[in-house]
Amino acid sequence: MPALVGCGVLFDFPPVPAGEFDRPVSVGPLESGPVNAPKSGPAMTPEPGPVIPPESDPVVAPEPEAATGAGRAAAAGAKTGPTTGSTTDATTATAVEGEAANLSVDRIAYINPYGDLFTVNPDGSEERRLTGGSQVQARPGQPAGFYQVQDLDFNNAYAWPTWSPDGSRLAVSRVQIAGNRSLQVSVQVLDSTTGRSRMVYENDVPALVADGAPHYLYWSPDGEYLSFLATTRQGLTLFAVNPATTEGAVALERGAPLYYSWGGDGDSLMIHSRAEVKLLRKPFRPDRALLLVDGVGFRTPALSPDGQRWAYAVSGATGSALYVGDTDSPAPARQVLALGPFSAFMWSPDSRTLAVADHQDPQGRIFQRIRLVDAAGGGVRTLVEEPLLSFYWAPNGERLAWVSVDTDDQVFEWKVAGLDTGDTVAGGGVNGGAVRELFRFRPSGEVFTMLSFFDQYAYSHSPWSPDSSRLVVAGSPGPVAERRNGHTPTGARVYVLDAVGDAPPLEIAAGSVAFWSWN
């Protein structure tokens, strides 16, 4: 069974069927212990749910806990602080606290095999630990040459780091073993330079939203809100919270399956809950959601980055089709493409083109092709025709990356094609550009979840470098082997792939999941 491994403790998670965030999975408690009583009132009230009230400073140091290494240090009379700094160079933890203005740009966030969060440069240099771990650090006020070792923290594991648009913050899920041996699951927001953190939400039940994912985290494009999916006593719930304020998280939608995307200005959300497609604008309250249409045969609706168009799919007795409508026009959406019974689609960064993957098996995970649709009615062309699991637009819109599947050998492979850019490489071409074969690999359990839900995760977790020249992936080279507890036999590593040149994959760290900053 897939698992979240962290801090020396193995948490076994039953698998969630791929294809929809619709079956929350309980992950605890480890032993019987007190459980918070359910909140009273309507299921969709915008009142704060099970939220830890924010502290006055939006970014504060984590409170020491007796069970953690920091707590033991505090109990011994040591001064505690954020556990940040280079892991290869003993530096003062507070020396970087004033670096918030020097944002983490062109850096990769990853989770190591012990469940701790790191950031690192794309070449593997300047690795910085943001959570937990054993570090040798200079202490403020101590003479030169005096260092203190912080103990390993075996009670916390972190998952799914999510960059804010400006790179100044990281949201992350935390799974913690409480004193009564029960599991506490929460959402943390950290300063990406100092590691200072605060809790913005705590689950009322220890459960997952997908295989290996305690939450799904997704910043608004303007960075004002952190939206997230969490499993509550009322079911799968979409929340939004402004981490810079003292207000708690607001429940916006409940139901399953549940997928959504932000408009490019951060002022609107398009939600696909059960079969209903809704549009929600600021101020975000559940009673303001506008029902647009009933749509099935797809997961995530697509708001264009410029906020002007929306796309969804409809399946009926005569087949399935892709529709595009104008967000500010009362005119009905227009059909632009006939589809197989299940599809996934995403807008290009310039909002002019939709990339569409579909297949004929509504229960299958493997798509059969990618087509490009001109939103203005300029035609359709096929880019890829082969079995594939996911695709991702490059930030500049000039390339498309996808993960192909060799169903006979069970091999996954990252590939890239230039879109009318003149790219030429050996190995054959597709309609619109040559194929660049980058990396044959077996994904980590977390990366497999990301690939299976790519049309949701692509909005929040970028494998692309900001300059569209490289990709980051966690896994192991070679053919797929049987995975036990969500991890490959040799352990997942983090690789940087050259999407435009001939450099071989570069291994930069040991980790189960990794994502590039947006800037």
What integer is the mean pLDDT of 514-519? 95
In a domain? residue 115: yes
Q: Which two tokens stand for residue 482?
A: 């049987």
Residue 119 pLDDT: 96
What confidence tens digit (pLDDT) does each residue in 148-192 have?
444 455 688 999 999 999 999 999 999 998 777 788 999 999 999
Task: Please count the structural domains in the chain.
Answer: 2
- Burial-class residue 406 by CB neighbours within 10 Å (0-12, 13-18, 19+): middle
DSSP states along 236-249: EEEEEE-TTSS---
Rounded distance, CA 340 to CA 361, Å?
Answer: 8
Higher pLDDT among residues 310 and 33, named by residue: 310
Q: Taking 90 as the threshold, does the pLDDT of residue 290 lie above it?
A: no
pTM to 2 decimals?
0.76
Q: Which two tokens stand for residue 211?
A: 């295989």
What integer is the mean pLDDT of 220-241? 95
- Cis, bond preceding 257 (omega within 30 deg of 0): yes
Q: How confident is the model at residue 295 (pLDDT cuts 50, 70, 90)?
A: confident
Query: What is the rounded (10 degree) CA torsion for 45, 455, 393, 266?
Result: -10
Q: Helix (H, G, I), strand (E, B), or coil: what is residue 449?
A: helix
Query: What is the rounded (10 degree) CA torsion for 472, 359, 342, 437?
Result: 10
Please give the residue range of the domain that contains residue 79: 1-14+23-33+59-155+165-193
Q: Taking 70 as the threshold, does the pLDDT of residue 34 lie above it?
A: no
Q: Taking 80 as the threshold, does the pLDDT of residue 503 lie above it?
A: yes
In a domain? residue 100: yes
Q: Taking 90 as the threshold, does the pLDDT of residue 419 lie above it?
A: no
Query: What is the rounded (10 degree) CA torsion for 120, 126, 132, 137?
Result: -170
Q: Are 177 and 9 in contact (CB under 8 A)?
A: yes
Residue 265 pLDDT: 85
In a domain? residue 323: no
What integer is the mean pLDDT of 91-119? 69
In a domain? residue 183: yes
In a domain? residue 361: no
Closest residue by Cα to residue 375 from 322, 450, 447: 322
Rounded distance, CA 152 to CA 69, Å?
Answer: 6
The number of residues making up the chain comes to: 519
Q: Strand 147-150 and strand 135-138: pairing?
A: antiparallel
What integer is the mean pLDDT of 253-273? 92
Closest residue by Cα to residue 191 from 171, 174, 169, 165: 169
Q: Taking 90 as the threshold, does the pLDDT of residue 432 lie above it?
A: no
Q: Using alpha carbons only, how large is the chain's radius of gyration in Å?
A: 23
Neighbours of 303 (CB within 10 A): 25
Residue 224 pLDDT: 95
In a domain? residue 481: yes
Contacts of 200 (CB under 8 A, 6+ apart): 51, 52, 54, 171, 187, 188, 189, 226, 241, 243, 249
Residue 53 pLDDT: 34
Single-letter code of the amino acid located at 191: D
DSSP label at residue 97: G
Residue 173 pLDDT: 96
DSSP states along 422-446: ----SS-EETTEEEEEEEEEEE-HH
What confidence tens digit (pLDDT) does each residue in 266-275 have?
999 999 999 9
Cα distances from 352 to residues 310, 411, 515, in angstroms, run 12, 33, 26
Residue 168 pLDDT: 95
Residue 56 pLDDT: 32
Rounded distance, CA 116 to CA 132, Å?
Answer: 6
What confidence tens digit (pLDDT) does each residue in 191-226 have?
999 999 999 999 999 988 988 899 999 999 999 999
Query: What is the rounded (10 degree) CA torsion for 70, 74, 77, 83?
Result: 40
Q: Which two tokens stand for residue 454?
A: 């790519």
Neighbours of 399 (CB within 10 A): 23
Q: Taking 90 as the threshold, does the pLDDT of residue 367 lie above it?
A: yes
- Of the ranges 287-296, 305-314, 499-508, which one carries the lowest mean pLDDT score? 287-296
In a domain? residue 294: no
Q: Are 312 and 295 in contact (CB under 8 A)?
A: yes
450: alpha, beta or left, given left = phi > 0 and alpha = psi -120 to 50? alpha
User: Considering 145, 175, 193, which residue would you say is the last residue of a domain?
Assistant: 193
Rounded distance, CA 404 to CA 384, Å?
Answer: 10
Q: Taking 80 as the threshold, does the pLDDT of residue 19 lie above it?
A: no
In a domain? residue 421: yes
Higher pLDDT among residues 263 and 104, named by residue: 263
